[in-house]
Amino acid sequence: MAFKDILYRVDGAVATITMNRPKYRNALSYRMLDELDQAFAEAGADRSVRVVVVRGAGGTFSSGHDLGTPESVEYRKAQNVEPGTIDAYDTFKKYNLDVHLRWRNFPKPTIAMVEGFCIYAGWMMAACCDIVFAASNAEFLAGFVEYMSIPWDVGIRKAKELCFESRFISAQEAHEFGFVNRVLSPDDLEKETYEFAHRVAENSPEALRFAKLQMNKAQDTQGFSNALEDSLGDYQAMMYLMGSEQMRVGGERRLLTVDLAVRGRKGERYGQKS
């Protein structure tokens, strides 16, 4: 498969998947999600690969969902999925839940290397990974998203706080909440991430596979996968009641909740300073 929206390379036992739409701050389109899925499949089939690093090009991990760039609209139209049909449901579920669960259960360790913004679908992408390393100047935005891992990522009360308020959090806060493993200086992020990845790759693939399997099973015993599938239904109910256009800033490719967070960064909300 020739990739258009991602880059894929292998260095020894470490593969790197780079989201490569810097023009749109790596907004996650259906085409990018398809390409990410294919890259994971290639890394999974390559016995020389033991660890996968996921990152974004241009200094940003991901600005979130693609809400209507011309390329994305064209790609969706080409899929010829009729609204209001079971095919439409299956397509929505595929791109917003199924691929993420598949990446979460990917049989090799995965590391998200986060710099810049990590918003909504970007959070979903990072949440699929086993380990998250972040630059100290990275910013994270959680919300009620389709792959609703956030209560598991930071705990119920923090998840409510973040989703209710719509506020960017720093890498340090994300670390304190339990979502980020290590916060590193921007200059050290790449070096430290890849040194860690190569150290992990020194383990046997069997040890890595079963360690990850056991920990994912422990999470699933607590109801993780079932809860996420159930939550997708609530998300779709919200979309049905509100309509996707009512969830956006008029005339812009931005969700209202994200706009609140952006206004907060500018010091335009109660008690927040830029």
User: Confidence band (pLDDT; 50, 70, 90) for 244?
Assistant: low
CB distance 110 to 129 below 8 Å: yes
Greatest C-alpha distance within the chain: 53
Query: Is 230 exposed, middle or buried (CB count within 10 Å of its CB: 0-12, 13-18, 19+)?
Result: exposed
The answer to whether 72 and 92 are in contact (CB under 8 A) is no
Return the sign of the alpha-carbon dihedral for residues 30, 168, 175, 142: negative
- Identify the CA nearest to 59 among candidates 89, 86, 20, 93: 20
pLDDT at 246 over 80: no
DSSP 112: E
As a whole-number percent, the residues of the chain with pLDDT over 70 amount to 97
Mean pLDDT of 21-25: 97
Q: How confident is the model at residue 239 (pLDDT cuts 50, 70, 90)?
A: confident
- Buried/exposed code over 80-114 (b: 16+ C-beta within 10 A; e: otherwise): eeeeeeeeeeeebbebbbbbbbebbebebbbbbbb
Structure token digits, residue 244: 């996707």
Please give the helix or strand (H or E) that residue 174 lies within, else none: helix 171-177
* CA pair distance 262, 243, nearest whole angstrom: 22
- 54: its two tokens: 């996921």
* 32-51: average pLDDT: 98
Q: What is the pLDDT of residue 251?
A: 64
Residue bearing tokens 């300073």: 273
Better-predicted residue by pLDDT, 37 or 240: 37
Half-sphere exposure in the Cβ direction for 246 (13 Å, CA):
6
Q: What is the three-class DSSP state of 92?
A: helix
Per-residue pLDDT for 219 more than 90? yes
All structural domains of the chain with their residue ranges = 6-265
| pLDDT value of residue 247 | 73
Mean pLDDT of the chain: 95
Q: Which residue has the tokens 């990275």?
A: 138
| 138 has a pLDDT exceeding 80 | yes
pLDDT of residue 47: 97
Quick one: average pLDDT of 37-52? 98
In percent, how much of the chain has pLDDT > 90?
A: 88
Give the Cβ contact number of residue 236 at 10 Å. 15
Distance in Å from the first CA to the final CA of the chain? 44
Q: What is the pLDDT of residues 70-119, one digit of tens each?
A: 999 999 999 999 998 999 999 999 999 999 999 999 999 999 999 999 99
Q: What region, left, alpha or beta, does residue 84 occupy, with left being phi > 0 and alpha being psi -120 to 50 degrees?
A: left
Q: What is the pLDDT of residue 42?
A: 98
Instruction: Please tell me the predicted confidence (pLDDT) of residue 1.
Output: 67
Residue 255 has pLDDT above 90, yes or no: no
CB atoms within 10 A of CB 274: 8
> SS3 of 46, please?
coil
The residue ranking higher by pLDDT, 254 or 150, is 150
Q: What is the pTM of this model?
A: 0.95
pLDDT at 245: 66
CATH of 6-265, one of 3.90.226.10, 3.40.109.10, 3.40.50.300, 3.40.50.1820: 3.90.226.10
